[in-house]
Chains A and B, each alone.
Chain A
Amino acid sequence: MFLTVRDLTMRFGGITALADVSFDVDEGRITGLIGPNGAGKTTCFNCITRFYQPTSGAIAFKGENLLDCPPFRITSRRIARTFQNLELFGTMTVLEHVLVGAHARFGRELDERTATSNALEILEYLGLAGEAHKPVRSLSFGARKMVELGRALAAKPELLLLDEPAAGLGHEEVERLGETIGRIRRDFATTILMVEHHMALVMGISDRIVVLDSGRKLAEGEPSAIRGNRAVIDAYLGTS
């Protein structure tokens, strides 16, 4: 099994953000993680990337326990993420962001020179070649989201976690994003777990979907099955 989440529970004081959530992510697939606001999707990402220590439960990646891994070692395990609310480095250029993404690969795999040429290739791939030396704060919102993606790709992730990549993007940008994510899965041979509220996007490109609601898993299955699932329609799709 690639990524397995078992009986994951996360409590903050009186709030139970996740309650006994279990699901698997298959290698090479795109898995969508959906659910209403406050369902626990980002909390789930934060548990996987070790920013939160779950109250109970288990997370394993490629058969190895992930919960004994400190947060700064997660990229060495080949897991990279983007953030729902952009977490960019305010004083850095676009290129520097991508170089930070490759931080954990320095030494054995990369030096400054190869890392820079790799980073420029990634920027080219994402259509950001012209912005490489611009400070990130001079970029549009959509371009900033692409920088987040580029930074994550520089880590050469086997598992890529995308937290609402389409949020705040215009119609055309979302369409292009869908294509880009599909291309990334193929060209970077990576598995993707994606949180998204944009139903057309998530239903369109996911192989499998996990639905959370108020910290519980509501349903899991192929997009077509999820679209017709009564409980999911009542809790989420119907209202959105």
Chain B
Amino acid sequence: MRLALVACGLLVALLPWVIPPFVTFQLTYVAAYAIAILGLVILIGYSGQISLGHGAFMAIGGYTAAILLAGAGIGYWVSIPLAALLAGIVGIGLGFVALRLAGVYLALATLALAASVPPLLKRFKALTGGVQGLSLPSPHAPGPLQPFVSSETWFYYLTWALAAVAFALAWFVLRGRVGRSLRALRDSEIAAVAFGVNPVFYKTLAFGWSAAYAGIAGAIIAIVTAYASPDVYSVALSLELLIGVVIGGLHSFLGAILGGIVVEFLPLWAQKINPAVESVVYGVALILVVIFAPGGLAGGLSRLARALRIQATPRSRPASTIEAISEKSA
């Protein structure tokens, strides 16, 4: 496992030197989406709460970063954490609402949140620049590095480093008591509560945490495109994140990265197949995954790996998807 991580790290580090700048740019997006989708893995996969509105938290993050960077000239080292904080606080607020809403009602409430964001952004022109949105300075590598590292590459590294931190934090926190408590609440709230798991604390924590990750992703996207506009954070973005997490795999970290790849590249592939029916391709991909790989691409991959391993060593111990996560981390 450690070897695989090091290999992935090396791959991420070396890629920008062999791929065209535009692909570097796309892979920056993949990392940003992966952070947001990891938030959905925490919220939906671990805590069993649904959100059709995480695009709204990306909007909060994106505009926080844009306003701080463009308006106040505050650097992204400060802007991105503040974007996470603000999105997280709003997420905790929504988490309290979610305590009173279950299933389909929560889905509707979060969808309504996502739908209300673009009009709100257009309305408060003074702060958000209205329909035009906000332009912000594009990120440059720090002075001494500039001759060697293009701004795309620099921000690619920054984003993947942020993703690494976000994933490491999630792994560290979720592998122990917190992750168990979230899953316990999801599987049987009665039993979890009977054994001392505070449902209000853990459920709002999951909401706030996942919203903060969406906020980081939103901020990154605003900074990397040097632009924030209402149409970037449409309802479609929320739904794409959801499709990404389902196709990638709801219960695994690897699924979040695969989900990021799906969100970034599926629309492009879909357009290549047939530009007129882009959303149909989306729908078909989703249905195929739900039917043939209920654990998403990550679940399918780990099942494949297990099958291969079982063939190699006939008596390996059985593992659930969740176990597969902890195995990977071991």
Contact = CB atoms under 8 A, between A and B. Distances in A.
A and B together in one complex? yes
Interface of A: 49, 51, 71-76, 80-81, 83, 87-93, 96, 99-101, 103-104, 106, 112, 133-135, 138, 151, 155
A87 B197 contact: no
B181 A103 contact: yes
A146 to B, nearest CB: 15
Interface stretch (B91-99, B121-129, B133-141, B318-326): B318-326
18 contacts: A49-B194, A72-B194, A75-B194, A80-B194, A80-B195, A83-B191, A87-B194, A89-B187, A89-B191, A90-B187, A91-B187, A92-B184, A93-B320, A99-B180, A100-B184, A100-B192, A103-B196, A135-B323
A155 B195 contact: yes
B318 A135 contact: yes
B195 A138 contact: no
B182 to A, nearest CB: 11
B190 interface: yes
Contacts, number: 86
B185 to A, nearest CB: 9
Interface residues of B, number: 24
Contacts of A155: 195-196
Interface of A is mostly: mixed
- The 7 lowest CB-CB distance pairs between A and B, nearest first, are A104-B196, A89-B187, A87-B191, A75-B196, A103-B196, A87-B188, A72-B198
Interface of B: 176-177, 180-181, 183-184, 187-188, 190-199, 317-318, 320-323
Given A100-B191, A104-B196, A133-B317, 5 more contacts: A75-B196, A87-B191, A103-B184, A112-B177, A135-B318
A48 to B, nearest CB: 11
Nearest to A137: B320
A106 B197 CA distance: 11
Contacts of A135: 318, 320, 323
Nearest to A76: B196
Nearest to A51: B190
